[in-house]
Amino acid sequence: MRAALYRVAASGPACAMYALLRPLLFHLDAERAHHLITRQLNFWTSVSPTRQLIAGRWGAARADRPFDLLGLTFPNRVGLAAGFDKDARYLHAMQALGFGFVEIGTVTPRPQDGNPQPRLFRLPRDGALINRMGFNNDGLEAVRERLAKRPPGLIVGGNIGKNKDTPNEHATDDYLTCFRGLRDRVDYFVVNVSSPNTPGLRSLQDRGPLTELLTTLRDENGTGGDARPLLLKIAPDLSDEQIIDTVKLVSELGIDGIVACNTTIGRTGLATDDRTIEAIGAGGLSGSPVRDRAADVVRLIRNHAPNDLAVIGVGGISTANHARERLDAGADLIQIYTGFIYRGPDLVGELKSAIAARSPD
């Protein structure tokens, strides 16, 4: 099969290859399909002819417009959201596809299997996914080792969390362990307290525990000469009042930015029938159904945050218009995940071109 896929990849743009493969992939279990295509991407980008083909189509030569933020120079403003490359396995492939930055993770101190399978589900009528992965990852040490071979020129963020069996009263220790372990391996950090798939995790968004966690990480960050930008990822299910309060807290503590936003536990307004949704069960919903709320959250943050607070917009971005709208709402950078699953690698170039064509900010 690999030889056949190689011939397809070498014969034309990867987007045509993805269009050819997508019906087959969508007949497979979603998680199995994810592993299949990412492994093949790693193969294609490890072979010089196809790596040059893919990089020439989506790499730095096409519509890249560097953007300075957080003391970093991003090759472009389109990033891959956390959850796709949990273990830093696909950085070279994602750079070849044209991403300006990749957020790995969520990384926990110890390896964990995550929740039982199946745990990733497609909703094609909604352009959406439901996942209850549960922070499955290889653990800090394995990720740290892979990051030693990260590609030059790609900005890498580290999304960090706690192990499932770590009680919330000791959660700060887990985040601190990941922060210390990845500090010399990533360019910025994202504190993930907003995933709905680890029991009790979202309670860390409450002001008391969140203050303790962010203060500890901020103080640790300031103890060395290699400080890293520190951002907080929030849930779209927070009320407007809670988001405004979080913005105030982040600003008071000197945290560098907010990633808005994570998946939602909501299920309203879906085209997929109720029986299918009930059969899938719990998990975070991503993709088109969260687009409007995600944009509203970005707008709300920007209206209540100081001008120097960085905002990364993620959620439901699958067209050039969506990207422009998110930047117009106040995002500095954007990230994609579900749209990438449905649209394939051509989406990256489409978004980059649309952003490059905008008037300078």
- Which residue numbers are catalytic? 195
Q: What is the rounded CA–CA span in Å between residue 217 and residue 229?
A: 11
**Is the C-alpha dihedral spanning 258, 263, 265, 268 positive or negative?**
positive
- Is the distance from CB of 96 to CB of 59 less than 8 angstroms? yes
Residue with tokens 């709320």: 293
Q: What is the rounded CA–CA span in Å between residue 170 and residue 249?
A: 21
| DSSP conformational letter for 98 | T
Among the listed residues 109, 286, 82, the one whose alpha carbon sits nearest the alpha carbon of residue 188: 82
CA 307 to chain centre: 23
In the Cβ-directed half-sphere of 191, how many Cα atoms lie within 13 Å? 34
Peptide linkage before 118 cis (omega within 30 of 0): yes
Q: What is the rounded CA–CA span in Å between residue 220 and residue 176?
A: 8
Among the listed residues 335, 38, 34, the one whose alpha carbon sits nearest the alpha carbon of residue 190: 335
The residues pairing with 129 across neighbouring beta strands, listed in sequence order, are 122, 286
